[in-house]
Amino acid sequence: MNTCRSANELGRVGPITIRKAEAWRIAIPMLEPFRISSGEVACKDAIVIRLSDGQHFGWGESSAMPGSFYSVETPDSCERELTQRILPELTSRTFSSMNELEEALAGWTSSRFVRVAVETAAWELLARNAGQSLRAFFGLPDQPVPSGLAVGLYASTDELHAAIERYRARDYRRLKIKIKHGHDVELVRKVREWYGDIPLYVDANADYSMDDIEVFRELDRYGLMMFEQPFARDDMEGSAALQRALHTPVCFDESVETAADAERAAQLDACRIVNIKLQRVGGYLEALRIADCCVRHKIALWIGTMPELGVGTAQALMFAAHPGCLFPTDVEPSARWFQDDILQPEIVLRDGQLSMPAGAGLGFSIDMNKMERYATQHWTF
């Protein structure tokens, strides 16, 4: 039986030697624009990297959203940091442990969206060196992961209904819809009218404050699984007050970027659930520290996505098997978001769940013909 290894134990794993680094700027159109309260994106623009020790390799992805509507980082800023500083610094270097690599990355850049690409690629490199799947390397169970459907904002309830039908909500283990000021209670009421008691929750992307508590009191009547990130990232005290006033659990997303954030949230009793995005927290080690903290404080977890291209999606799916993850992941099938993808084999939904292929590292491979087709630039160091 697998036992999840702690962040402390895994941080000592090494050495990691990097003899070659490559990066590709990839742009793949989305099936339709993805809208949240703060903006929208119509094309997935990411930087995919590959690190090699001369024998084995590992893939990573930097998947910031364009336009700074989710974070201050953008694909352009991440590209500059990776190709002008980070990857040249890495080549022909050996790090004694993952802790040492993490410390070096933190010294070179404050961007977690940059660090995650290198850190996750290094983990797959180590797992391939050991001839193990990344899940086995981390001590995570090799089992299917329940998947949830997430849909963005639409101009009308008819368009929302059409999108939920188009993406076959009943094939998933739960449904998430986005809300924003003026587009909230009516959306939930309609979804309940259409789909009855389907497991349902809302994601506010920090569009509200305590001035809107009556909106959440009304939403509290609809039997939702959670309110995801209702208030601003730094307003943990407000979220704690909201949680005290409601039955529905508050879930933190952007509010928890580090284990210290998770600890503060626990001390304030500001949330009952945390969504971990690998891109947002900077990689597996910090994700494990956050998970360790949440499990200790009996805060439930689940794994979110940006969404990323295939590499980042596979990485999130790998981590979604963590025993602290009690809710379905936002990871969805490959064909859900993009007109195409670079991952082989495709991620496929079966019985509301997603599985990973057998094999070393992530188990997936990259279609290099598609990489060439969708790459706008390529660097080798």
3-state secondary structure of 324: coil
Q: Please tell me the predicted confidence (pLDDT) of residue 66.
A: 80
Q: Which residues are within 8 A (CB) of 369 and not within 5 positions of it... i.e. 6 or more apart? A: none
DSSP secondary-structure letter at 170?
A: G
**CA–CA dist 167, 171 (Å, integer):** 9
Whether the CB-CB separation of 56 and 128 falls below 8 Å is answered with yes
Q: Please tell me the predicted confidence (pLDDT) of residue 32.
A: 80
DSSP secondary-structure letter at 92?
A: T
Q: Is 312 exposed, middle or buried (0-12, 13-18, 19+ CB in 10 A)?
A: buried
Q: What is the pTM of this model?
A: 0.94
Write out the catalytic residue numbers.
Answer: 178, 277
**Of 236, 190, 187, whose CA–CA distance to 210 is shortest?**
236
Helices (H) and strands (E) in the chain, counts: 15, 17
Q: 217-220 contacts: CB < 8 A, separation 24 or more? A: 217/245, 217/246, 218/185, 219/184, 219/185, 219/188, 219/248, 220/246, 220/247, 220/248
Consecutive H or E run containing 257: none
Q: What is the greatest pairwise CA distance in the chain?
A: 60
User: Domain 7-137+369-380 falls in which CATH fold?
Assistant: Enolase-like; domain 1 (3.30.390)
Q: What is the pLDDT of residues 362-380, one digit of tens each?
A: 999 999 999 999 999 999 9
Structural domain spans, the chain:
7-137+369-380, 141-361
Residues of the chain with pLDDT under 50: 1
Domains 7-137+369-380 and 141-361 share a fold: no
Q: Does domain 141-361 have CATH number 3.20.20.120?
A: yes
Q: What is the pLDDT of residues 142-199, one digit of tens each?
A: 999 999 999 999 999 999 999 999 999 999 999 999 999 999 999 999 999 999 999 9
**CA–CA dist 272, 109 (Å, integer):** 31
**CA–CA dist 300, 317 (Å, integer):** 17
**CA–CA dist 199, 362 (Å, integer):** 30
**CA–CA dist 288, 270 (Å, integer):** 20
Rg (CA), the chain: 20
Q: Please tell me the predicted confidence (pLDDT) of residue 1.
A: 42
